Amino acid sequence: MPDPAVPPTPPVPLTALLAREDLGLRQLAGPPAEDVVVHWVHTSEMADPYPYLLGGELLLSAGVHIPEAAGPETSYSGPETSYFGDYVSRIVAAGGAALGFGVAPVHDTVPEGLVAACASHGLPLLEVPPRTTFSGVARAVWQLMARARLAELRHVTEAQQSLAAAASRPDPVPSVLRQLAGRLGGWAVLYGPEGTEIAGAGREPGDEVRTALTRLATVVRPTRAAGAPAPSSATDSVAGLHLAAYSLGAGHGFVLGVVTAQRTPGDHTVASVAAVLLSLLTGEQQSGTGAARSSALVRLLLGAPPEEVAGLLGDGPWLVVHARPDGDGAADPVAASALGAALGSALVDPAGDAVRVLVPAGRAPDPLPGWTLGVSAAVAPHDWPTADTQAARALARARATRSPLQRHSARPALADLVPSEEAAVHARAVLAPVTAHPALTETLRTWLSLHGSWDRTAVALSVHRNTVRQRVARCAALLETDLDDPDVRMELWFALRHV
């Protein structure tokens, strides 16, 4: 029989379920509830539930499958000679976490043979009283699971913010290690390419654990020897402690080691965030790119024009890419760093709803799985702000049209025949009634670019379609014009290009 695969859901302590007074559950047999966690709930009246279990479930049954010959009066003679023994052994073999038996309407009490079988096989057995429905038990597990997931997300989010703040300190590497050790309640150490400890923070373990962690670091450290590439991370357990090692980028040889007394949900994500930050910090120490990038940023902050510092960042011209992950929510720092690596640029800004990346034009991106991209035209450094606007609008169009990538293309047009100064004067005159309302101007621009589609405009602007209708109607009223007239639309589009 294959090993059971526990569902990837937050574990719910069995003690938390037993503590719910509204459920009234009572444990009749099996190991202490403190040592048991539940990953899911499944209801089945099959005599052999094994094929339907993934592992980690609280299996609920009212005993409909129990034959009369195996009623409560039947004595239990051993796991191999009893219906209950066979039934419980199959649940254990499938990796079931516990069995909940519903009293009524089929059985007035939990069969003694079932209690004995669960005690013999080490399966926790819970009595579900008549007033408690199976759906109520499942709902309670889902509620506890949602709380656990929320706590995990809060733990990860707070850790990400504190690690990012630590990376911006004057001593970034020690600060990140101290913050990581504090968040995980253990020890964090940075190994150099030769395997020596460069810096550490937290509660230092004994020599046995320290030696084991050093040995584990060699598993993830890339080497020049032929063969399979080294894994990005590895774990081990020594003397009751959890050990983990993370490679900090291909070719550098730096490794992050972590020792914790216990492994809670989200700890791996937190350690991975620290590994990404340390990879950036140690990678900059190994090459001149980090120093050049820092120099460019300092010069910009001190007032130097972009064209003077762009050479420090690499060859131009440049593209600005705006990206959003598929689904709801913004990208976390790990995903943003991975996006930058996929685009071949370390100039990544994950703040806000979209991740912004400055990319050399020679590395024009292709669609990336899991991301929606908006790409600007190739521009010189002094036009970076314009390219940023182009990328934002391209991303809005990509999301509205459900396409993985949209590019802003600069091409010859009739508008080029009009001098830009005269065009700007004309645009300001035409759009004067609405330019005082940025939301109206951007709605009109997006609505026209999407051929008057209410739904796509709503998606692009992240507003309700009725809001789009109201704004466009307001524009028509302020401009005193008919927006259904194609000539009017063309005139407005020309003007919007110069505002």
Section 289-298 average pLDDT: 68
> How many domains is the chain built from?
4
- Does 161 lie in the same domain as 72? no
* Residue 320 main-chain phi, psi, to 5 deg: -105, 130
The residue ranking higher by pLDDT, 275 or 413, is 275
- Does 51 lie in the same domain as 118? yes
Task: Residue 170: give its domain's CATH number.
Answer: 3.30.450.30
Q: Does the residue 302 lie in any domain?
A: no
Report percent pLDDT > 90 for the chain: 34
* DSSP one-letter code for 285: H
Section 391-396 average pLDDT: 89
Q: What is the pTM for the complete model shown?
A: 0.46
Checking if the pLDDT of 487 tops 70, the result is yes
The number of angstroms, rounded, from the C-alpha of 250 to the middle of its chain's C-alpha atoms is: 23
Q: Does the residue 470 lie in any domain?
A: yes
- Does 238 lie in the same domain as 159? yes
Q: Does the residue 370 lie in any domain?
A: yes
Which residue type sits at 407? R
Which residue type sits at 482? D
- Does 66 lie in the same domain as 188? no
CA distance 101 to 127: 5
**pLDDT tens, residue by residue, 67-96:** 876 644 444 444 444 899 999 999 999 999
Question: Residue 220's closest CA among 240, 189, 250?
Answer: 250
CA distance 464 to 457: 9
- Does 170 lie in the same domain as 269? yes
Q: How far is CA 167 from CA 155, 170, 208, 267, in A?
A: 18, 8, 31, 18
Q: Does the residue 2 lie in any domain?
A: no
**pLDDT tens, residue by residue, 36-47:** 999 989 999 999
- Does 54 lie in the same domain as 104? yes
Task: Residue 401: give its domain's CATH number.
Answer: 3.30.70
CA distance 146 to 134: 18
Domain boundary among 382, 407, 432: 407
Q: Does the residue 279 lie in any domain?
A: yes
Task: Identify the weakest region by mean pLDDT among 233-242, 273-282, 416-425, 471-480.
Answer: 416-425
Q: H/E element holding 458?
A: helix 454-461
Domain boundary among 407, 434, 456: 407
Average pLDDT across the chain, whole number: 83
Model pLDDT, residue 254 = 85
**pLDDT tens, residue by residue, 357-389:** 888 887 778 887 778 999 998 888 888 888 898
Q: Does the residue 105 lie in any domain?
A: yes
Residue 98 lies in domain: 12-132
Other CB atoms within 10 A of residue 358 CB:
24
Model pLDDT, residue 290 = 59
